[in-house]
Amino acid sequence: MKKRTIIILFLAYFGINHVCIAQGQSNIDSLLLVLKTSKDDTDKVNTLKRLAAEYSSSSRYEESKKIGLESLALAKKLGYENGMASALLTIGTAFYSQGDYVIAFEKYKDAVALISKLTDKSIIGNCYLDIGMVLSRQGNYPEALKNHRVALNCFKEAGDRTGLAKAFSNLGVVYYEKGQYPEALQYYFTYLKMVERDGDKKLMATAYVNIGIVYDAQHNTAVAMKFYEMALALDRQTGDKSGMAQCYSYMANNYYRRDSVATAIDYNKRAFAIFEEIGDKAWSAYVRNTLAQMNANGSNYKQALEDYSSSLKTFGEIGDTFNLFASYQGMAGLYYKQGMFKEAIKCLENALVMARKINGRDNINSCYINMAGTYEAMNDYKNALEYYEMYVNLNDSLFNEKKSMQIAEINTKYETEKKDQDIALLNKDKEIKEVEIKKQKLLKYSFIGGLGLIIVLLLFGYRNYRSQQVMRLQNIRNKISGDLHDDIGSTLNSISIYSEVARKKDGQQDEALEMIGEASRKIIDAMSDIVWSINPDNDSFSKIIFRMKSLAYNLFRAKKIEFTFHSDETLNEKKLSLEERRNFYLIFKEAVNNLVKYSNASRAAITLTNENEFIKLRIQDDGIGFDTSQNNTGNGLKNMKRRAGEMKAAFKIESAPGNGTQIELILKS
């Protein structure tokens, strides 16, 4: 599980909108006083709506829903359509804030159903804006963008600058979540210009924060920090405590990315103190989660568990499904680090329930792959492979939907163009019309033919993609089959022979049983390597380096061989294909095993460097060496050379009796 996954996940959910709590309880008390003397009229509907919004801002979502339903009932009684739509949006927002996107979406759709009766374009725009937010959170970015753009046009017609600003900001959110950072910045800077023109310092702070988050995502931490500092300065000017605390939280994550862990924890504690003071439960729980992740990575597991437990309790109290999912994921990672795999599985099962509830398939897929990795660590290969297959199948279905949307978009464009052409023909006189009709028919048929060709090409491309996937999986199966036959088959044969020796009880029983145990351990080790190699979560080089270090530490420690292991930090984000990862690791494993068994070395040095787009592995020892010109070097060296050839990598070995051994593997990255 990646070091900063959970922190980034929370950042995307909480940080993007930088919502400010407007004076909290004092506003709620004022609105409650107004309601005591209010008549049952449209003003009371709007007051109830504002009260529901205040409860939602204070993370009191159940009270927000209750007041929202009261506002809706009164609006229906009065036949006040604008009030009905606004109340539905307010209720939907409470469900959205709890991560209950399915019900939130239903409320927003009910509001849209009233559009034909609505006179306020701003309310219509907010309907589409809120629907777009739910779709974005569920990963349906094409539909989210479509709804946000409809909202943008509504706000333009209404002359609603606040609505326009929200639309630009939300478009930035979608592009940020898609990983299209230049587009996200373009919309955020447009939003910033609008709020700067209006002189709204709170919204300017929001813009600065959102821009900072995008730069952080691109690892441009210095620029990101400048924007956070500008936002913090504005929040101090306006006395916005919630905004200040949020800035401290973003700055903490920024410091954490730069490995300034102590400073990051200090800033998070500042943020937590303010959120506790103003009674913002959701943000307090969020900060506890980030503190838990930082403490977990610093091996302070006891404090991390306490932080996770506290935030889980709070998110459960306020019914925040999305963040319950993220908290369970984080706690699973904590248990995984401690080797408490059964507890990790329980947390992942809870996370999967939450992911399915919010209908977030990226989240579901994250659970699948993490469960596969945890079962692998438990040597439960049956469940590991089952969850890995679920992960692959869901990826395929997402690919199919994407292609279907592309075809539908092409067809829509065609139909729109066809209608525009028909309208233009009505304005021609008879003679020109006949000529034009022929031209249009030709154009139409050409277009239809082109459309058909595009669809055929798309289908052919998908079929080709599926064929490649099938071939790829078949190759993997063949490789695994070969490994099972070569490594495990021969080992099982050895176990059979040792068992026969033990059965005869001729004085060699203890030795034979020891050999059986050793052979069994060899099978488990080989199976672990196979499952690890096919897990896509291990694509990053940091995972390979970690496994290499673990292997070297265990083997060298057993033989009391002093060793050093150096690797360039620039290698951490590199990725290898499944075959490259498998061969690279197995070459390293074979080399280290040979060193431990045969070299009689007292010291060894392992270096991994990134030189001019080449990954270079060097393993040196001060052992007895051997004559490389001899042909009796065994299968180990032959296997290493064969695997290097499969990767198209250079493999060198230098050794001489009494002068130690140096092995070098050079792979183009």
- Domain edge (last residue) among 536, 571, 595: 536
Please compute the mean of the pLDDT values over residues 392-419 and round it to a whole number: 53
Of residues 484 and 283, more confidence is placed in: 283
Looking at the fold, whether 563 and 530 belong to one and the same domain comes out as: no
Q: Report in angstroms the alpha-carbon separations of 63 from 48, 57, 67, 94.
A: 11, 11, 6, 9
| Predicted local confidence at residue 224, as pLDDT | 93
| Predicted local confidence at residue 365, as pLDDT | 83
Residue 591 lies in a domain: yes
CA atoms of 383 and 348, how far apart (whole Å): 14
Give the number of other Cβ atoms within 10 Å of residue 658's Cβ.
9
Looking at the fold, whether 413 and 512 belong to one and the same domain comes out as: yes
Looking at the fold, whether 482 and 545 belong to one and the same domain comes out as: no
Phi, psi dihedrals of residue 401, rounded to the nearest 5°: -65, -40
- Domain edge (last residue) among 536, 565, 590: 536
| pLDDT interval class at 132 (50, 70, 90) | confident
Residue 116 clears pLDDT 60, i.e. is over it = yes
* Range from 388-402, 507-521, 533-547, 613-627 carrying the lowest mean pLDDT: 507-521
Residue 152 lies in a domain: no
Q: Which residue range is the domain that position 460 belongs to?
A: 404-536
Q: Is 561 helix (H, G, I), strand (E, B) or coil?
A: coil
| Range with the largest mean pLDDT of 52-61, 208-217, 421-430, 538-547 | 208-217
Q: Is 555 helix (H, G, I), strand (E, B) or coil?
A: helix
DSSP per-residue letters across 377-399: HTT-HHHHHHHHHHHHHHHHHHH
Burial 50-70 (b: 16+ CB within 10 A, else e): bbbbbbbbbbbbebbbebbbb
| Predicted local confidence at residue 10, as pLDDT | 41
H or E segment and range at residue 360: none
| Range with the largest mean pLDDT of 226-240, 421-435, 444-458, 473-487 | 226-240
Is 282:318 a contact under the CB 8 Å cutoff?
yes
Looking at the fold, whether 424 and 477 belong to one and the same domain comes out as: yes
CA atoms of 59 and 54, how far apart (whole Å): 9
Instruction: Report the candidate in 327, 321, 318, 251 with the shortest Cα–Cα distance to residue 282.
Output: 318
Q: Is 359 helix (H, G, I), strand (E, B) or coil?
A: coil
Residue 577 lies in a domain: yes
| Predicted local confidence at residue 341, as pLDDT | 93
Dihedral, CA of residue 313, residue 318, residue 320 and residue 324, to nearest 10:
0
Residue 545 lies in a domain: yes
Please compute the mean of the pLDDT values over residues 462-480 and round it to a whole number: 59
Name the packing angle between helices 301-318 and 281-297 (round to 10°): 160
DSSP per-residue letters across 282-351: HHHHHHHHHHHHHHHHTT-HHHHHHHHHHHHHHHHHHT-HHHHHHHHHHHHHHHHHTT-HHHHHHHHHHH
Of residues 38 and 232, more confidence is placed in: 232
Residue 621 lies in a domain: yes
* Range from 74-83, 544-553, 649-658 carrying the lowest mean pLDDT: 544-553
* Range from 208-217, 415-424, 644-653 carrying the lowest mean pLDDT: 415-424
| Predicted local confidence at residue 627, as pLDDT | 84
Looking at the fold, whether 506 and 600 belong to one and the same domain comes out as: no
Percent of the chain with pLDDT over 70: 74
- Domain edge (last residue) among 517, 536, 555: 536
Looking at the fold, whether 517 and 441 belong to one and the same domain comes out as: yes
Residue 364 lies in a domain: no
Question: How many domains does the chain divide into?
Answer: 2
Is 654:662 a contact under the CB 8 Å cutoff?
yes
Give the amino acid at 591.
A
Percent of the chain with pLDDT over 90: 20
Alpha helices for 338-485 (secondary structure H): 341-357, 361-377, 381-425, 430-483
Is 341:335 a contact under the CB 8 Å cutoff?
yes
| Predicted local confidence at residue 277, as pLDDT | 86
Residue 662 lies in a domain: yes
Give the amino acid at 122.
S
CA atoms of 358 and 95, how far apart (whole Å): 11
pLDDT digits (tens, 9 = 90+) for 513-532: 666 666 666 666 766 777 67
CA atoms of 125 and 167, how far apart (whole Å): 9
pLDDT digits (tens, 9 = 90+) for 347-364: 999 999 988 887 777 788
Q: Report in angstroms the alpha-carbon separations of 653 from 586, 592, 599, 608, 612.
A: 16, 13, 14, 16, 22
Looking at the fold, whether 547 and 596 belong to one and the same domain comes out as: yes
Residue 149 lies in a domain: no
Looking at the fold, whether 511 and 631 belong to one and the same domain comes out as: no
DSSP per-residue letters across 188-204: HHHHHHHHHHHT-HHHH
Q: What is the pTM of this model?
A: 0.53
Of residues 111 and 423, more confidence is placed in: 111
Looking at the fold, whether 430 and 532 belong to one and the same domain comes out as: yes
CA atoms of 335 and 351, how far apart (whole Å): 14
Token code pair at residue 213: 């988050």
Looking at the fold, whether 532 and 572 belong to one and the same domain comes out as: no
* Range from 22-31, 272-281, 286-295, 352-361 carrying the lowest mean pLDDT: 22-31
Residue 232 clears pLDDT 60, i.e. is over it = yes
Q: Are strands 650-655 and 614-621 parallel, antiparallel or unpaired?
A: unpaired
| Range with the largest mean pLDDT of 3-12, 25-34, 597-606 | 597-606
Looking at the fold, whether 547 and 532 belong to one and the same domain comes out as: no
| Predicted local confidence at residue 413, as pLDDT | 43
Instruction: Report the candidate in 363, 347, 384 with the shortest Cα–Cα distance to residue 535.
Output: 384
CATH number for the domain that contains residue 552: 3.30.565.10
| Predicted local confidence at residue 520, as pLDDT | 63
Looking at the fold, whether 559 and 522 belong to one and the same domain comes out as: no
Please compute the mean of the pLDDT values over residues 220-225 and round it to a whole number: 92
Q: Using CB atoms within 10 A of its CB, is residue 597 exposed (0-12), middle (13-18) or buried (19+)?
A: exposed
* Range from 148-157, 180-189, 534-543, 549-558 carrying the lowest mean pLDDT: 534-543
Residue 430 clears pLDDT 60, i.e. is over it = no
